[in-house]
Amino acid sequence: MTDTLRLQETQPADRPQIPGLYAAAFPEEDLAALVEALLADPAVLSLSAVAGETLVGHALFTRGRLEGAAEHVALLGPIAVHPQHQRTGIGQGLITEGLARLKAEGVAQVLVLGDPSYYSRCGFRPESRVVPPYPLPAEWGQAWQWQRLDGSEADLAGRLMLPAPWMRAELWG
C-alpha cells in the first residue's frame, strides 16, 4: 500500500463506502441495517481506516451501561477490514485507537462478541460476568470477552444495556 493510512473518526466522505466495505468483509452476513442504525446513534464512536481516499477499515464502539452500576462500558463491533487489506494490522489499529479514545472518556470496560484468538491479541479475555442483552448460544461462551480500561483487573458484572439498534435477539444468537 503506497497511500498513508489514516485512522480517524468517520467522516461524511467515508459514509458512502461503509456498506460496500462490510459486504466485502462479510459476504455471508447482512450487517448494513445494523451499521446504518449505529452510525445514526450519538452513543456510537465510529472510526475509519482510510488509505488515500479509500475506506479500507471501519469499527464501531457503542457506549452503554450496566444495569444498576455507575461505570461506563462500551461494546466493540461490528468491525470490518477490506479483504485486500486484512492481516496488515488495520483491525488491531482501529481497536487500539477506539480503546484509547474510550479510556480518555472514562469508559471502564469494553466488551466484544467475536473470535477469541483474534481479540485476545488486543487484550480481551473470555467469559465476562457482564450479561449480554440476550442469551448467547452455549458454544459462544468463549466469544463473549472483556477488557478493563481503567486499570482494574476485575471484570465488572451486571446486564449490559445498549441503544435500540442492539436490542434485537437475532443479533445475539
Cβ 66 vs Cβ 107: under 8 Å? no
Distance separating alpha carbons of residues 22 and 26, to the nearest angstrom:
6
pLDDT of residue 119: 97
Q: How far apart are the first and last CA of the chain?
A: 37
CATH of the domain at 74: 3.40.630.30
Q: pLDDT tens track of the chain, all 173 residues?
A: 447 999 999 999 999 999 999 999 999 999 999 999 999 999 999 999 999 999 999 999 999 999 989 999 999 999 999 999 999 999 999 999 999 999 999 999 999 999 999 999 999 999 889 999 999 999 998 999 999 999 999 999 999 999 999 999 999 98
Counting the structural domains of the chain, the total is 1
**pLDDT at residue 80, rounded to an integer:** 98
Q: pLDDT of 12-22, one tens digit each?
A: 999 999 999 99
What range does the domain containing 168 cover? 5-172
